[in-house]
Amino acid sequence: MITVTLIGSGNVAHHLIHRILESDTLVLQQIYARNLEGIHADLDRSIVTDVIESLKPADLFIVAVSDNAIEEVTDKIQVPNQLVVHVSGNTPMDCIASKHRAGVLYMLQTFSKDQKTDFSSIPFCLEAESDTDLKLLKEFALHFSKHIYFINSIQRQIIHLAAVFVNNFSNHMFVIGEQICQEHQVPFEILKPLIMETALKVQHLSPLNAQTGPALRNDTKTIARHLELLKNTEQQTIYKLITHSIQENNV
């Protein structure tokens, strides 16, 4: 039995709350939100509060607020000697007010409020000041997923940086693909199976070995033709730079 208090009313808090309520061995002790309007209407109001000073002790406090607010919010938790963790990929553990036993519970996934989250495939990156607390965090996380990693604050920053490349930047390649299609009245949906295959391929193959295409083959004729077809200067610059980078990696 682990008693948990949730702080925050955003997407992460929302999904954690609902998953905790489904569990027999996790107890949702309290929810704090600055603005109670963000809290789902069907929750038991007796455990919901907007007075942070009124929070009682719990085995685990999860602070799911914006990165900038972590220090201030954790400082306002009055009850002493609690395990208080944040859920941010990009914030060091020591941003948690030093009066607490600090920890981090970082789930490497994007959450949308409208869509039910399948926690079972999400990697949980855990950090804590003490082994005892790390053990409790692991016990908690195992209710959600078996993909548990012990990751320190520096490694977590690295994961966050790598995630920008594999998620935000690859998505931007999809954006450019869609723009090129739109300019020439080609339905973007033609490319969707290829996008799926690209992601599937690196699930069992190193991306370096999965690479194909004109850059890798140094097919200069095709590369020149592609640069001619691109009318947008920034898209041309991106094409040249990434082509060069692919070739550098395969010398």
What gap in Å lies between CA 29 and CA 40, rounded to an integer? Answer: 16
Q: In the window 103-132, what residues touch a copy of itself (CB under 8 A)?
A: 108-110, 121-123, 125
Q: How far is the CB of 164 from a copy of itself (least distance, A)?
A: 6
Total residues contacting a copy of itself by CB under 8 A comes to 82
Sequence-distant (6+) residues with CB within 8 A of 36 are 9, 48, 50
Residue 218 within binding range of a copy of itself, rule CB under 8 A: no
What gap in Å lies between CA 24 and CA 94, rounded to an integer? Answer: 32
Residue 143: strand, helix, or coil: coil
Residue 244 within binding range of a copy of itself, rule CB under 8 A: yes
> Which residue, 61 or 106, is less far from a copy of itself as judged by CB?
106
Selected from 190, 218, 220, 236, the binder of a copy of itself by CB under 8 A is: 190
Q: Which stretch binds a copy of itself (CB under 8 A): 22-30, 52-60, 79-87, 150-158?
A: 150-158
Contact (Cβ atoms closer than 8 angstroms) between residue 169 and residue 217: no
Residue 248 within binding range of a copy of itself, rule CB under 8 A: yes
Selected from 21, 142, 162, 224, the binder of a copy of itself by CB under 8 A is: 162
Q: In the window 67-106, what residues touch a copy of itself (CB under 8 A)?
A: 90
Q: What sections of the chain are H helices per DSSP?
A: 11-22, 70-76, 131-141, 153-163, 170-183, 192-204, 207-210, 214-217, 220-229, 233-249
